[in-house]
C-alpha cells in the first residue's frame, strides 16, 4: 500500500440535521463520499453548503445524525489532523507575517522541516517575496493565497474548500485548479462549495446540490453534473 493510499479517507453523513434555534441549516442529509472523490457542492446562499463543510471538518457538531469516516478504522481525531479546510474567513493571523503563519501551523501539525515546507508553499502561491510582510497588509486575494497554502501544508487526505476562488485573480485560480488536480491525483478526497462553473469546478467528478438544507440533486454523470455546477446559484 502506497503512502497516499494509506492516507485515503472518505466521509459518510448519516441523516445529519443541524439546527440553529428553530432554524434548520441542514435537514436529514445523508451522503457517502468515497476516498479520493472530488465533489462540488452547489446551491443558493443559505442552502447549507458551509454548514455541511464545517460538520465534515468536525468544527461543528450536528444536532442529529452522525459523521463517520472510511476506512472504518479511521478515528475522528486522525481524520481531523488529515483535513485541510479553506473557509470564508482566511483562518490566518493578520498580526503575523505570511511565513510566520505557515511556520506556526506547520509546527502545530508536526510537519518535518516546517521551514522548508513553508518556503515551498510560499513560492507556490507566489508570495515568497512578501514572506516577511504582515498578512494585514495583504490584499484579499493575497490573503486567500496564504489561507490556501495553510490548508495544504500537510497535503491533507481530505480537503474541504468553501468557495476557494474568492478574491483570486485568474492566475491564482489556474494555480489552485492545478494544485487540486495534483492532490486529487494523489488520492486526496476533495469537497468544495462553488458558485458557478470555473476551472476549479471542472475537477469535480460528482455534483451535489443543496436547497434549504436538504440534498435535492446528486449526480456523477457529465451533463447533469455540468448543469448542477452551471446553475449553482439559480
Residues making contact with other proteins (CB under 8 A):
54, 57, 59-61, 77, 80-81, 83-85, 87-96, 100, 104-105, 107-110, 150
Grid cell 479546510 — which residue? 85
Which of 135, 225 has the CB closer to other proteins? 135
CB of residue 69 to other proteins, shortest distance in Å: 15
CB of residue 51 to other proteins, shortest distance in Å: 10
CB of residue 134 to other proteins, shortest distance in Å: 9
Which of 57, 228 has the CB closer to other proteins? 57
Query: Is 215:29 a contact under the CB 8 Å cutoff?
Result: yes
Report how far residue 98's alpha carbon sits from residue 142's, in angstroms, rounded to the nearest whole number: 10
Which of 109, 212 has the CB closer to other proteins? 109
Q: How many C-beta neighbours within 10 Å does residue 220 have?
A: 12
Cα–Cα distances (Å) from 218 to 42, 45, 62, 118, 186, in that order, read: 10, 18, 21, 37, 24
CB of residue 228 to other proteins, shortest distance in Å: 27
Cα–Cα distances (Å) from 89 to 21, 86, 102, 199, 224, in that order, read: 23, 8, 16, 22, 31
Bridge-based pairing state of the strands 10-20 and 23-33: antiparallel
Which of 106, 232 has the CB closer to other proteins? 106
Q: How far is CA 201 from the centre of its chain?
A: 13
Here the cell at position 215 is: 440534498
CB of residue 93 to other proteins, shortest distance in Å: 6
Which of 1, 95 has the CB closer to other proteins? 95
Amino acid at each position: 500500500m502506497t503512502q497516499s493510499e494509506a492516507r485515503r479517507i472518505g466521509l459518510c453523513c448519516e441523516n445529519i440535521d443541524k439546527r440553529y434555534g428553530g432554524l434548520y441549516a441542514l435537514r436529514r442529509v445523508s451522503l457517502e463520499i468515497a476516498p479520493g472523490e472530488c465533489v462540488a457542492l452547489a446551491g443558493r446562499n443559505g442552502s447549507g453548503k458551509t454548514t455541511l463543510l464545517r460538520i465534515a471538518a468536525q468544527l461543528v457538531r450536528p444536532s442529529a445524525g452522525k459523521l463517520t469516516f472510511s476506512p472504518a478504522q479511521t478515528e475522528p481525531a486522525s481524520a481531523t489532523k488529515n483535513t485541510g479546510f479553506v473557509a470564508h474567513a482566511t483562518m490566518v493571523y493578520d498580526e503575523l507575517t505570511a511565513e510566520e503563519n505557515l511556520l506556526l501551523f506547520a509546527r502545530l501539525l508536526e510537519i518535518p522541516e516546517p521551514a522548508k515546507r513553508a518556503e515551498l508553499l510560499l513560492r507556490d502561491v507566489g508570495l515568497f517575496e512578501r514572506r516577511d510582510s504582515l498578512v494585514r497588509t495583504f490584499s484579499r486575494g493575497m490573503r486567500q493565497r496564504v489561507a490556501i497554502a495553510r490548508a495544504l501544508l500537510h497535503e491533507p487526505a481530505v480537503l474541504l474548500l468553501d468557495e476557494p476562488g474568492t478574491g483570486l485573480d485568474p492566475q491564482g485560480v489556474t494555480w489552485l485548479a492545478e494544485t487540486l488536480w495534483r492532490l486529487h491525483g494523489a488520492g486526496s478526497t476533495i469537497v468544495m462549495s462553488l458558485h458557478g462553473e470555473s476551472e476549479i469546478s471542472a475537477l469535480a467528478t460528482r455534483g451535489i446540490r443543496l436547497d434549504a438544507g436538504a440534498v435535492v440533486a446528486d449526480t456523477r454523470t457529465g451533463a447533469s453534473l455540468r448543469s448542477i455546477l452551471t446553475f449553482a446559484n439559480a
